[in-house]
Amino acid sequence: MGVVSSPDSGVLMKGGCMTRDIRESVSLEQRLENLERENRRFKVFGSLVLLGMAGVLCMGLTSAPSKKLEAEVLVLKNAQGKSQMILGAGDDGPALTILDKNGKLRVNLGVGQDGPALDLLDAAENPRAQLMITEDQGPLLNFYDAKGSQVSLKP
């Protein structure tokens, strides 16, 4: 029987066969290397997940919520999705419009070129009362009957 070297372990053995102890140590070394390789992968993966979570957390904390809302028109709707109030700023000036449950115009408050005005309308959207202040005429209070006839009162 000659001397045989094992290519995996570099160990010289007599008789050409490996003993059980040498095979177990070789397989333990391979298993340990595989385990260490997996451990490195888990560390890298865990680090990437941790960095991603930290990035998401930082993105959420970077800016404080805005306390300012800017829009040309703001429409408030009820639970059924019907418009109830409209706040807008047009070319004539700002206006607040209030609608009834059927979506009909009932109240309009605005500031136009002539000055501030408040209009009250009936269910058919006909003006029934109007209060305004104009530059040239001063305060005006107008009432309208069901036929649309106007009665103006000036203090």
CATH number of the domain to which 118 belongs? 3.90.930.1
For the cut 70, the answer to whether the pLDDT of residue 95 exceeds it is: yes
Q: Which domain holds residue 106?
A: 73-153
* pTM attached to this predicted model: 0.54
Characterize the bridge pairing of strands 12-14 and 3-5: antiparallel
* 67 assigned to some structural domain: no
- Give the count of domains, the chain: 2
Q: Same domain, yes or no, for 53 and 119?
A: no
51-77 pLDDT, tens digit per residue, is: 888 888 777 666 666 778 888 899 999
Q: Are 70 and 84 in contact (CB under 8 A)?
A: no
Q: What confidence category does residue 100 fall into, taking pLDDT thresholds of 50, 70 and 90?
A: very high
Q: Same domain, yes or no, for 36 and 79?
A: no
The alpha carbon torsion through 21, 27, 31, 37 (nearest 10 deg) reads: 120
Q: Same domain, yes or no, for 110 and 131?
A: yes
Q: Which of 5-9, 27-31, 95-99, 111-115 has the lowest mean pLDDT?
A: 5-9
pLDDT at residue 105, as a whole number: 93
Q: Same domain, yes or no, for 114 and 77?
A: yes
For the cut 50, the answer to whether the pLDDT of residue 4 exceeds it is: no
Domain boundary among 12, 41, 61: 61
Q: Same domain, yes or no, for 48 and 82?
A: no
Region 97-121 average pLDDT: 92
* 143 assigned to some structural domain: yes
Q: What confidence category does residue 114 fall into, taking pLDDT thresholds of 50, 70 and 90?
A: confident
SS (H, E, C) 62-101: CCCCCCCCCCCEEEEECCCCCEEEEEEECCCCEEEEEECC
Region 103-130 average pLDDT: 91
